[in-house]
């Protein structure tokens, strides 16, 4: 028997554009899925190494107030720097929009 783990001991990062992709395309930046584990327990067959686990968690979907834009970063004229930074290239800008009042 695998001992029951405390939910706060199981850390699963949020699914976002930084951590996950769908069909090799990152999840769009404003989308986020938070995973809060509630239970992880199960059994291990010591003879075969086979494990059976039961996992229970809350999944919270959110779409943050973000603005996303792209810009082209031109060459600097410095051969070393241009090659090191792979210039010209596109830059992704993610700006958090905060509503006040």
Q: Per the structure block, which two tokens stand in for 68?
A: 């996303």
The pLDDT of residue 79 is 92
Report long-range pairs for 53-59 (Cβ below 8 Å, ≥24 apart): 53/2, 57/12, 59/33, 59/34, 59/35
Q: Do 58 and 85 sit in the same domain of this protein? A: no
DSSP state of 48: T
Residue 70, classed as helix, strand or coil, is strand
Q: What's the structural domain count of the chain? A: 2
Q: Do 89 and 59 sit in the same domain of this protein? A: no
Question: In the chain, which stretches have pLDDT less than 70?
Answer: 1-5, 7, 65-66, 68, 94-99, 101
The pLDDT of residue 15 is 87
Q: Do 84 and 48 sit in the same domain of this protein? A: no
* Full domain range(s) for residue 32: 1-64
Q: Do 19 and 4 sit in the same domain of this protein? A: yes
């Amino acid at each position: 028997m695998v001992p029951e783990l405390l939910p706060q001991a199981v850390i699963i990062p949020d699914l976002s554009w930084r951590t996950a992709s769908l069909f090799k395309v990152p999840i769009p930046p404003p989308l986020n899925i938070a995973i809060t584990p509630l239970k992880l327990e199960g059994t291990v067959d010591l003879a075969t190494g086979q494990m059976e686990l039961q996992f229970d968690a809350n999944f919270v979907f959110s779409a943050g107030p973000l603005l996303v834009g792209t810009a082209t970063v031109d060459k600097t004229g410095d051969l070393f720097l241009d090659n090191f930074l792979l210039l010209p290239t596109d830059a992704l800008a993610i700006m958090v929009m905060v509503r006040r009042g």
